[in-house]
Amino acid sequence: MAEIKAIVLRAAGINCDMETEYALELAGAEARRVHINRIIEDKTMLNDFQIIVFPGGFSYGDDVAAGKILANQVVHHLSEAVEKFIDDGKLVLGICNGFQVLVKTGILPGDGKELATEGTENTEKERVSKTDNQFLTITYNDSGKFEDRWVYLAPQSERCVFVEPGRRIYLPIAHAEGKVVTKDEATLTELKSEGRVAFKYVDKDGEEGGYPVNPNGSTESIAGLTDATGRVLGLMPHPERFVRATQHPRWTRRENGVDADGMTIFNNAVKYVRENL
């Protein structure tokens, strides 16, 4: 059987790439950290991989806005390659800053409607304007500060291949700009009706609530989104930071044999590729 290969994108300021690579390897994939400039130089490189991950961190110092500069690079240089990657049935995962990038490129909420295409048919002004998502954004936390805490997540979609339906998970967050806001009520209704909301912030009993249950003030407690295919996932919490039982903040009080919740995301991704690609 062919090896399942995952590419972990690198750029200045990204600092979760090694943990993400490790998580993918624990799940059974062959993971490789690659700088975005190498992919821009050789876009055919993506043909050798089935999973691409935009990891967490502070790409390019989050100048302008969180994930904005990296998103511009994707739009201007890799839009066709990424669209083909998704069209070929492959998987895309964006974690924290990576989620912000997926939103600012328009890869999420999906359908390719917002993702600019490279080439001479678009003027520079048109291409840049397309990096401003028309339907939703991720902005500053309501608390006005960087939030570093653990949160419960409840899956909301059976569409997304990364998600284990019915399994509430517990993951850490670390962000200052994590508030998901939709353009209008119609956009929110569409996201929910089409199963695009992948995760919501909840308490230990599975109920939505105010701060700190919802740590950033996201509309209707949205913590993660998927696209129309269910093969793209963006989420603010960090699954790569909980892949060993001892990483749980109360690990000495937990029952033996309880899985590290972050591995569900990576295990499901590798399982999907193994069974479908």
Longest Cα–Cα distance in the chain: 60
96 in active site: yes
Cα–Cα distance, 196 to 187 (Å, whole number): 11
- Radius of gyration of the chain, Cα coordinates, nearest whole angstrom: 17
77 in active site: no
| Amino acid identity for residue 165 in this structure | P
Helix segments in the chain, DSSP class H: 17-26, 36-41, 68-73, 79-87, 97-105, 124-129, 185-193, 263-276
The gap from C-alpha 10 to its chain's centroid, in whole angstroms, comes to 15
240 in active site: yes
Q: Are strands 30-35 and 222-226 parallel, antiparallel or unpaired?
A: unpaired
Q: Under the phi-then-psi rule, with left for phi > 0, alpha for psi from -120 to 50, and beta for the rest, what region is 98? A: alpha
Choice among 16, 96, 175, 177 that is catalytic: 96
| Amino acid identity for residue 125 in this structure | K
Query: What are the catalytic residues?
Result: 96, 238, 240
